[in-house]
Amino acid sequence: MSLLACEGLSIGHGSRVVAAGIGFALEAGTVTVLLGPNGGGKTTLLRTLLGLIPPLAGRVLVAGEDLRGMARQAVARKIAYVPQAAPGGFAYRVLDVVAMGRAAHLPLLAQPGARDVAAARAALARLGMEGFAERRVTELSGGERQKVLIARALAQEAAVVVMDEPAASLDFGNQALLLREARRLAAEGHAVLMTTHHPDHAFLVADRVALLHGGALEGPGAPAAMVTPERLAAVYGVPAVIGELGGRMVCAPLLGGPD
Ligand SMILES: Nc1ncnc2c1ncn2[C@@H]1O[C@H](COP(=O)(O)OP(=O)(O)OP(=O)(O)O)[C@@H](O)[C@H]1O
pLDDT by residue (tens digit) across 44-95? 999 999 999 999 999 999 999 999 999 998 999 999 999 987 777 788 999 9
Other CB atoms within a 10 A radius of the CB of residue 218 amount to: 17
Beta strand pairing call for 208-213 and 30-35: parallel
Residue 190, pLDDT above cutoff 90: yes
258 or 5, which is more confident: 5
pLDDT band at residue 102 using 50, 70 and 90 as cut-offs: confident
Domain ranges of the chain: 4-253
| pLDDT higher than 80, residue 245 | yes
Question: Is the beta carbon of 12 within 6 A of some atom in ligand 1?
Answer: no
**Residue 89 CB less than 6 A away from ligand 1:** no
pLDDT band at 258 (very low <50, low <70, confident <90, very high): low
Between CA 251 and CA 234 the distance in angstroms is 15
Instruction: Read off the DSSP letter of residue 92.
Output: -
What confidence tens digit (pLDDT) does each residue in 35-47 have? 999 999 999 999 9
Q: Say if residue 110's pLDDT is above 80.
A: no
Q: Which fold has domain 4-253?
A: Rossmann fold (3.40.50)
Closest Cα to atom 14, ligand 1: which residue?
41
Tell me, what's the pLDDT at 107? Answer: 72
Residue 257 scores a pLDDT above 70:
no
pLDDT in tens, 115-143: 889 999 999 999 999 999 999 999 998 88
Query: Which residues make beta-bridge pairs with 26?
Result: 4
Ligand 1 center from residue 198 Cα (angstroms)? 18
Residue of the CA atom closest to atom 16 of ligand 1: 41
